[in-house]
Amino acid sequence: MDQSAINVRYAKALFLTAKEKQKIAELKTDIELVLDVCNKSVDFILLLESPIIKTSKKTKLITSVFKEKIDELTLKFLLLVTANKREVYIPGICRNFLNLIKKDQNIKTARLTTALEVDTEALQKIKNLLGKELNATIELSTGVNPEIIGGLVLRIDDKQYDASIATQLKKIKQDLLESELK
Which long-range contacts does 115-121 make (Cβ < 8 Å, 24+ apart)? 115/144, 115/145, 115/146, 115/147, 115/148, 115/149, 115/150, 115/151, 115/164, 115/165, 116/144, 116/146, 117/144, 118/142
Q: Strand 107-114 vs strand 137-144: parallel, antiparallel, or unpaired? A: parallel
Residue 182 pLDDT: 65
Asked if residue 1 has pLDDT above 70, the reply is no
Contact 140, 110 (CB under 8 A): yes
Average pLDDT over residues 120-125: 95
Contact 156, 110 (CB under 8 A): yes
107-181: same fold as 3-103? no
Asked if residue 181 has pLDDT above 80, the reply is no
Is the domain defined by 3-103 classed in CATH 1.10.520.20? Answer: yes
pLDDT in tens, 123-153: 999 999 999 999 999 999 999 999 999 999 9
91-128 in b/e burial notation, b at 16+ Cβ within 10 A? bbbbebbbbbbbeeeeebbbebbbbeebeeeeeeebbe
Average per-residue pLDDT in the chain?
Answer: 92
Give me the percent of the chain exceeding a pLDDT of 90: 90
Residue ranges per structural domain of the chain: 3-103, 107-181
Residue 3 pLDDT: 58
What pTM was computed for the model? 0.80
Residue 178 pLDDT: 86
pLDDT in tens, 22-79: 999 999 999 999 999 999 999 999 999 999 999 999 999 999 999 899 999 999 999 9
Alpha helices in 1-159 (DSSP H): 3-20, 24-40, 42-49, 55-66, 72-83, 90-104, 120-134
The neighbouring-strand residues paired with 153 are 113, 162
Contact 98, 25 (CB under 8 A): no
One-letter identity of residue 2: D
Asked if residue 2 has pLDDT above 60, the reply is no
The structural architecture, per CATH, of the domain 107-181 is: 2-Layer Sandwich (3.30)
Q: How far is residue 2 CA from its own chain's centroid?
A: 21
